[in-house]
Structure 1
Amino acid sequence: MEVTGSSGRHRAVAAGSGGGRGKRRSVDVGTGGSIRSLGTDLLCIVFALLDHFDLVRCSVVCKSWNNLIYTSSLMKDLYNKRNPHLKCASIKSDMLETSMKIYLEEIAMEEHKLSFLRGSVKVDQWSGHHASDLNIRVNVCRMKRGLILTGVGDKVLRLWSAESCNYLDEYVSPEMNQLVDYDFDENKIVGLTSDRICIWRRHGQRGIFQSCKGIFTRGLCMRYIDPEAVIGCEDGRVRVFDMYSGRCSRIIRMHSGPVTCLTLTDDQLVIGGSTFGNIAIADLSSGKRMGSVKSCFSPTGLKCFSFNMHSYSVFAGSTSGYAHCWDLRTLRPVWETRVSPNVIYTVHHLSNDTSMLAVGGIDGVLRILNQSTGEILSSLVIDATKGVPLSSKNSHEVVQKKVRRLQDTTCLDIIPRYLRPPITCLAVGMNKIVTTHNEKFIRAWRFHMNN
């Protein structure tokens, strides 16, 4: 651990993996002593100089630090400063732990919101493919646990570090079939081609499971909740598969037209959007259709979905440039706002956030919307200033670009198209958004709170 001065404030940084920048190592303190030789009192003095986010980061370094941080008065003191009307002494320990978790989540979401609205923004851009791959594009991105997985429009999925942009691994489609959709978790990657499901192991012996060919009609979209994968098909049906046996357990009739987008809820509901602008809800376990909702602006095909389990809201983007929000409990529209002159390809939000919604489409503008009202809060494009090379990461160059926040009166026609290529997919993380553009490059938009 090192203690350094930064803007008049000391910071403690625990040595770790650093998102792929270096291996965990033992750090000497003073003249040869291990960090483990620091006593509890000295550690508390160092930890007392940190804010809540740094403390949380330090608490995951090891069990002893975690116990020290959460059993001492460190978190309690910060909690009391933020909540002076409450006294920790009068709160039971289990209630205090719950209150502090809520408090930490609230301030994290507030920082996330403010960084999107008023923070400074820089974009790291790098090539997702080799220069020799002339016909390969990157259409889709997913981001989880500090990792980015990109692909589609390609026959290869590539894994990157969200922090350093380092290339980590790649997964090739069997028989070189072109991928249509995919998702991943800490153990596996589940991919969809037009007529089969593929599963890659992420750890241990590399292996690929493939479902039988031709058991569904042109799959267009996919989501999964272990052990089942749900495929939206061109014939308007949703097919539910056991991912490990390859058997189709249920076929649910959702629409009379193609199922263009899907989302799943934790309570076993499947929601499917269609080319006709309506959504259908069905029970995943029974296959029973529960209801449907139609857009007020028909006909308008739905291109993308995002579900917020905290507010029970379903967000969608359409071919006519509208962003939509429905309340899944009442099956009623909450708002419908035209945010773009043309197709919206992607909508997404941080899983615990109920305030910010990121939207991207054919006009290449990254927009931040209010989840409750649909109001456009911020619109961003790349600035015309030439990018600055940051470094070479595993044979690919990372270039940092500046970002321009657009005013409400800005005319898009005056902004060159090369500065705003279509946003085909985006993924939202804490204070960052990753975008793909049907080009070779990938962009990581990094939002920082202004001090």
Structure 2
Amino acid sequence: MNRHQRGFTAAEKGPSPATASQINKRRQTPTNILSLDPDIVCTIFAFLDMFDLVRCSLVCKLWNAIFESRSLREFCERTMKSSSSEFTEKPLREILGEVAMKQHRLALQCGRFYVDQWKGHSTTVAQCRMKMGLLVTGVGDKVIRLWSLDSYKCIEEHSMPNTFPLIDFDFDESKIVGLVGSHLCIWRRNGKRSIFPSLEGKFVKGSCMRYFDPAAVVGCDDGAVRVFDMYSRRCSQIIRMHHVPITCLCLNEDKFIVSGSTSGSITIADPSSVQQVATLRSSDGRGIRTMCFNPSSQLLFAGSAVGYAYCWDLRTRKLLWSHRVSPNVIYSIQHMQSDSSTLAVGGIDGILRFLNQNDGRTVSCVLGEKLLSTFQSPSGLIQRRKGTRLPEDDLINIYDLVAVTDRPSITCLAVGMKKIVTTHNTNDIRLWKFKSHISL
């Protein structure tokens, strides 16, 4: 009896102390959010907005399974105040994707916003690309920089080889591909750099570049495009597109090459046959300056040297609309991937415009104006400016409304979810952050 009492008393005092090996084992066992119980993760997901839910579903297989669970689906149904029949007709991912796109559209067109601005380079920043929460900027000085949009920190920097100027570039999760002088150059994210051999990689002066693994396409001043294999580093094709210099390029999912020119014409070519497929005509004899292609709608958008925006349906090759949306050159025209509603336009007048993709109507014009505050980031001082929407009665003639100093020319822009990055003829980079007021 005494033994049992002693044993019971020992148990009351608590468990025996952990041994050193048990403590070390616990320390070595990683604890992160992926180790949480699925019910706990589902509860956390319930506090997120619809767009963040879609992003979380892409993290891993476990989270994707939780995302598709019935309990989360029922929560979303209650939150969005939708009927069960609506939810059973479509996958949850598709429903939330539509909600996210609606939030994005309303945020750009009528939401409140502010603009964060910082010095990105020593001179003009002429190009920018944004993907996966990362931003790449360059063209102007001899440096290409990779930024984190969360911290405004420059996380990578690459110098140009020798004295070659950077002309154009694009990037993905593993590399940056650049048109440097008359050469192609690849910077791997692991730090390695590869320059194409001078005999195979050299060409008549290039003006623009795009790539679709494994091919990189360079538009040249002689009116031809040169197609390179990025792994063999050899020029595989030369396709005559125009009799005048090429100004911009697009590559679509069918691997068709679309090129704009200084004459205002746009040519479509099929690399598989090394032949032109079609020619699209604009009313602007001073040239096409920028293009973008929307794969979800098969629409091609272009901006001209005299402020016109155009839209063609590539399935029928027909011009759907054309409008003069700016008094001067349009340098950049872009949209968010999978968004078929809103088009962002920027140019020499420094006004950021939003167009309806379906009819070309200007739905809003914005600029960053009054300085609100400054704060320090890992890369220097950040200026936060108040966002202002211009009156809608005259969206082209803005010279009397806004001082030139408040609207530096937009040289390039990139569109993300409820945010836009612009580069300017100064050495500044601007991040525009928009908020939607949609109730789900």
* Structure (1 or 2) with the larger CA radius of gyration: 2
Q: CA deviation at 1:194?
A: 3.1
* 1:122 paired residue among 103, 109, 114: 114
Following the alignment from structure 1 to structure 2, what is the Cα–Cα distance between the partners of residues 417 and 158?
Answer: 28
Amino acid at match of 2:112: S
Amino acid at match of 1:427: A
More displaced 10-residue stretch of structure 1: 404-413 or 330-339: 404-413
Structure 1 gap segments, 5+ residues each? 1-25, 27-32
Identity %: 47
- The 3-state SS of whatever aligns with 2:91 is helix
Greater relative contact order (Cα < 8 A, sep 6+): 2
Closer, same or farther in 2 for the Cα pair 1:378/1:450, shift >3 Å?
Answer: same
* 1:53 paired residue among 42, 48, 51: 51
CA contact (8 A) 1:342 1:362 kept: yes
Closer, same or farther in 2 for the Cα pair 1:321/1:187, shift >3 Å?
Answer: same
CA contact (8 A) 1:141 1:151 kept: yes
* 1:299 paired residue among 285, 304, 313: 285
Amino acid at match of 1:78: C
Q: CA deviation at 1:59?
A: 4.2
**Corresponding position of 1:233:** 220
State the TM-score, normalized to the length of structure 2: 0.86
* 2:352 paired residue among 353, 366, 372: 366
Following the alignment from structure 1 to structure 2, what is the Cα–Cα distance between the partners of residues 126 and 251?
Answer: 41
Closer, same or farther in 2 for the Cα pair 1:389/1:212, shift >3 Å?
Answer: same
Following the alignment from structure 2 to structure 1, what is the Cα–Cα distance between the partners of residues 167 and 381?
Answer: 28
- Cα deviation, 1:25-60, whole Å, max 9, x if unaligned, reads x9xxxxxx9868865555544544544334445545
Following the alignment from structure 2 to structure 1, what is the Cα–Cα distance between the partners of residues 46 and 379?
Answer: 41
**Corresponding position of 2:105:** 113
Amino acid at match of 1:405: R
- The 3-state SS of whatever aligns with 1:217 is coil
* 1:201 paired residue among 174, 179, 188: 188
More displaced 10-residue stretch of structure 1: 219-228 or 41-50: 41-50
1:340 matches 2:338: no
- Cα deviation, 1:261-305, whole Å, max 9, x if unaligned, reads 10000111000111111100000222111010111x241300001
**Corresponding position of 1:12:** none
1:317 matches 2:303: yes
Following the alignment from structure 2 to structure 1, what is the Cα–Cα distance between the partners of residues 104 and 215?
Answer: 33
Following the alignment from structure 1 to structure 2, what is the Cα–Cα distance between the partners of residues 45 and 434?
Answer: 34
State the TM-score, normalized to the length of structure 1: 0.84
CA contact (8 A) 1:261 1:304 kept: yes
Structure-to-structure mapping, 1:357-436, within 5 angstroms = 357-383=343-369, 385-390=370-375, 392-409=376-393, 411-414=397-400, 415-436=402-423
Q: CA deviation at 1:198?
A: 0.5
CA contact (8 A) 1:380 1:406 kept: yes
**Corresponding position of 2:8:** none
* 2:209 paired residue among 215, 219, 222: 222
Following the alignment from structure 2 to structure 1, what is the Cα–Cα distance between the partners of residues 303 and 429?
Answer: 21
**Corresponding position of 2:19:** none
- The 3-state SS of whatever aligns with 1:174 is coil
Following the alignment from structure 2 to structure 1, what is the Cα–Cα distance between the partners of residues 250 and 35?
Answer: 50
**Corresponding position of 1:159:** 146
Q: CA deviation at 1:172?
A: 1.1
CA contact (8 A) 1:326 1:332 kept: yes
Following the alignment from structure 2 to structure 1, what is the Cα–Cα distance between the partners of residues 86 and 430?
Answer: 45
Following the alignment from structure 1 to structure 2, what is the Cα–Cα distance between the partners of residues 301 and 62?
Answer: 46
- The 3-state SS of whatever aligns with 1:276 is coil
Following the alignment from structure 1 to structure 2, what is the Cα–Cα distance between the partners of residues 39 and 181?
Answer: 47
Closer, same or farther in 2 for the Cα pair 1:210/1:72, shift >3 Å?
Answer: same
- The 3-state SS of whatever aligns with 1:424 is strand
CA contact (8 A) 2:54 2:96 kept: no
Q: CA deviation at 1:432?
A: 0.5
1:258 matches 2:257: no
- Cα deviation, 1:82-109, whole Å, max 9, x if unaligned, reads 5415176xx5xxxx7x621211111110
Q: CA deviation at 1:63?
A: 4.8
Following the alignment from structure 1 to structure 2, what is the Cα–Cα distance between the partners of residues 38 and 145?
Answer: 25
- The 3-state SS of whatever aligns with 2:202 is coil
**Corresponding position of 1:276:** 263
- Cα deviation, 1:392-443, whole Å, max 9, x if unaligned, reads 2224111111121111335522311111111110000110110011221100
Amino acid at match of 1:408: E
Q: CA deviation at 1:68?
A: 3.2
Q: CA deviation at 1:306?
A: 0.2
Amino acid at match of 2:65: N
Following the alignment from structure 2 to structure 1, what is the Cα–Cα distance between the partners of residues 322 and 135?
Answer: 30
Following the alignment from structure 1 to structure 2, what is the Cα–Cα distance between the partners of residues 381 and 323?
Answer: 20
Amino acid at match of 1:244: Y
CA contact (8 A) 1:348 1:359 kept: yes
Amino acid at match of 2:118: W
Closer, same or farther in 2 for the Cα pair 1:322/1:36, shift >3 Å?
Answer: closer
Structure 2 gap segments, 5+ residues each? 1-25
Closer, same or farther in 2 for the Cα pair 1:83/1:299, shift >3 Å?
Answer: same
- The 3-state SS of whatever aligns with 1:197 is strand
Closer, same or farther in 2 for the Cα pair 1:167/1:35, shift >3 Å?
Answer: closer
- The 3-state SS of whatever aligns with 1:186 is coil
Amino acid at match of 2:100: A
CA contact (8 A) 1:167 1:393 kept: no
Following the alignment from structure 1 to structure 2, what is the Cα–Cα distance between the partners of residues 158 and 418?
Answer: 26
- The 3-state SS of whatever aligns with 2:107 is helix
